[in-house]
Structure formats: structure tokens, C-alpha cells
């Protein structure tokens, strides 16, 4: 029986790529919560996003000339880099269970790249220094989230698309607060349907008009104690994700290993665009 060759494995690549792209898009929450940019080939590896300041219109007396307003812009710059993952598929594994290998590889690569994208974007939460809530010794409450949301509204940040991302351990404390009746968590509470949803489905969903997401990729606070997590409330324009090349998969025959290397890679960059459009939310988990 003929062994696996690079040609026979290449026939399976479209399926692997399709699975990897699907999983990466499904598992990455941050990619869909921020502003997406595309960078075509031969345009360098730096993305520059112009930042326009808010302008003020004034009343004009009939017959008077409208005063000229000089509009100057700042620029947010972030660089495109590359990420990758490699695995060796043996001829035996491929011939014994080709369909499972294909599905597993797509899921493996998609999960890995989605996790990396989320980690890179969430690392930017600490850049939100204008607006902050909580601290490494503070337990999250709904009131603190409303405080952060109010800071954005007071600054004139658009309310469409606002999102909150928390570590699951911090989200636990939020659910406990939302379902608190008297002094006992998870027994009901004053938040009505939100409390019911938290108890019934295990997630918060929408709170104060913003969608609340949980992700284990939310980072620990640098230099903080165990359980101190960095979260954020932000508008999509606060952060940027620049894609030069989505997931690409290549193969290379490794005859001495009786197998084939499969390498997945992607090229993208992340950056902070409008720092004032986000709120840093640092909280200490009780679990």
C-alpha cells in the first residue's frame, strides 16, 4: 500500500484551511469587537490610522464670514507581524483516520490562532488610561460597570457597539452580585430578567446596553497578585485589528519521520486607535 505523499496531503488542505478559518472566526471574540483594517501586499508592514479630533460648530451671524477651523490629525500606528503553528502528521495517522486528522488539525490551528489574536488585542486593554474603574483590590459590581459606561458617555463616545470583556473568574463575581437577594448570591435579586438569565443560562448577556463577554484570555494584571485580571469596556473604534494575510497552510515532506509537516500562519497587527474610547477595568476575583 502506498504511503502518504505531499500531493495526497495537499488534496486535503482546502478542508483543513476551511476548518481553521471557521474555528478562528468563531472562537475569537475580539476580532469582531474592534475596528478591522486590511493591508494589501506591497504596502509595507505598518498600519497608520488617522485620528480626527472632535470639532465644534458655532453660530454665524447673517452676512458674516464663517470662521476657518484648522483640522489637525494624530496618527495611530501599529505594525503587522506574523504568528504560526506547526505539527507533524505521520503517514500512519493520515492513512488510518484521514477525516479525523483533517478535522482535528483545522480545529487545532483555528483555536491556536484565535487565542493568539484575542491575547494580543486584550493586552491593549492596559492602554486605556484616561478612563479607569476598579483596582487590584476591588471586587466587580454592576454599579462599577455603569460608572465606566457613564465615563464614556460623558466624553461623547458613541454608544453603538459598546462591549465589556471580563475574565470568567471576574464575571462570576458579577453574576453573584446580579443575583444577590439579601446576602445570598444566586438566589434571585433586584435585576429582574438579567438575574434570571444569569441563573438560567450562566451568562450576563446585555447589561446597561452593552454586551458582556467572558474570555479566559483576559490577562492577569502585570505585577499583580493571582486573581487580579485586566478587563475593559470599549467602543469598536478604541482598538484596531489589521489583517495582511489570513490563515495560510503549507506542507513540507519529512521523509525521515515518515510524515509531513503542516505549518499554519497568519499576518496581522493590533493597536490602540482611540484610547479615550475605552475604560480599563481591573478587578480582583474572589475565587
pLDDT in tens, 248-282: 878 888 999 998 888 888 999 999 999 999 999 99
* DSSP 8-state assignment for residue 70: -
pLDDT in tens, 197-215: 554 554 567 888 899 999 9
Mean pLDDT of 39-43: 74
pLDDT at residue 4, as a whole number: 41
pLDDT at position 155 over 70: yes
- Work out whether strand 239-254 and strand 259-272 pair parallel, antiparallel, or are unpaired: antiparallel
Q: Could you give the CA distance from residue 152 to residue 155 in angstroms, rounded to a whole number?
A: 5
pLDDT at residue 38, as a whole number: 85
List of domains in the chain: 6-53+74-123+243-267 (3.30.2400), 128-238+276-284 (3.30.2320.10)
Grid cell 454665524 in the structure block, residue: 60
Q: Look at 280 and 32; give whichever has higher pLDDT.
A: 280
pTM above 0.75, yes or no: yes
Weakest-pLDDT range from 14-23, 167-176, 231-240, 272-281:
14-23
Amino acid at each position: 500500500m502506498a504511503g502518504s505523499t505531499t500531493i495526497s496531503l495537499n488534496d486535503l488542505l482546502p478542508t483543513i484551511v476551511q476548518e481553521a478559518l471557521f474555528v478562528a472566526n468563531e472562537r475569537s471574540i475580539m476580532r469582531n469587537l474592534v475596528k478591522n483594517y486590511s493591508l494589501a501586499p506591497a504596502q509595507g508592514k505598518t498600519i497608520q490610522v488617522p485620528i480626527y479630533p472632535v470639532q465644534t460648530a458655532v453660530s454665524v451671524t447673517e452676512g458674516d464670514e464663517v470662521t476657518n477651523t484648522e483640522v489637525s490629525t494624530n496618527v495611530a500606528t501599529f505594525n503587522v507581524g506574523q504568528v504560526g503553528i506547526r505539527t507533524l502528521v505521520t503517514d500512519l495517522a493520515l492513512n488510518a483516520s484521514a477525516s479525523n486528522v483533517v478535522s482535528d488539525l483545522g480545529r487545532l490551528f483555528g483555536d491556536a490562532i484565535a487565542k493568539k489574536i484575542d491575547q494580543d488585542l486584550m493586552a491593549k486593554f492596559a492602554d486605556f488610561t484616561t478612563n479607569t474603574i476598579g483596582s487590584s483590590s476591588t471586587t466587580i459590581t454592576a454599579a462599577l460597570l455603569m460608572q465606566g459606561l457613564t465615563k464614556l458617555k460623558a466624553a461623547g463616545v458613541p454608544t453603538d457597539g459598546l462591549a465589556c470583556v471580563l475574565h470568567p473568574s471576574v464575571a462570576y463575581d458579577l453574576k453573584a452580585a446580579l443575583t444577590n437577594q439579601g446576602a445570598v448570591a444566586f438566589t434571585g435579586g433586584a435585576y429582574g430578567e438579567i438575574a434570571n438569565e444569569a441563573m438560567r443560562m450562566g451568562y450576563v448577556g446585555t447589561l446597561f446596553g452593552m454586551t458582556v463577554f467572558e474570555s479566559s484570555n483576559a490577562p492577569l494584571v502585570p505585577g499583580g497578585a493571582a486573581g487580579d485580571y485586566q478587563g475593559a469596556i470599549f467602543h469598536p473604534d478604541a482598538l484596531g485589528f489589521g489583517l495582511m494575510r489570513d490563515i495560510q497552510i503549507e506542507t513540507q515532506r519529512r521523509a525521515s519521520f515518515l510524515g509531513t509537516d503542516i505549518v499554519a500562519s497568519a499576518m496581522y497587527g493590533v493597536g490602540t486607535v482611540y484610547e479615550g474610547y475605552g475604560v480599563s477595568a481591573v478587578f480582583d476575583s474572589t475565587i
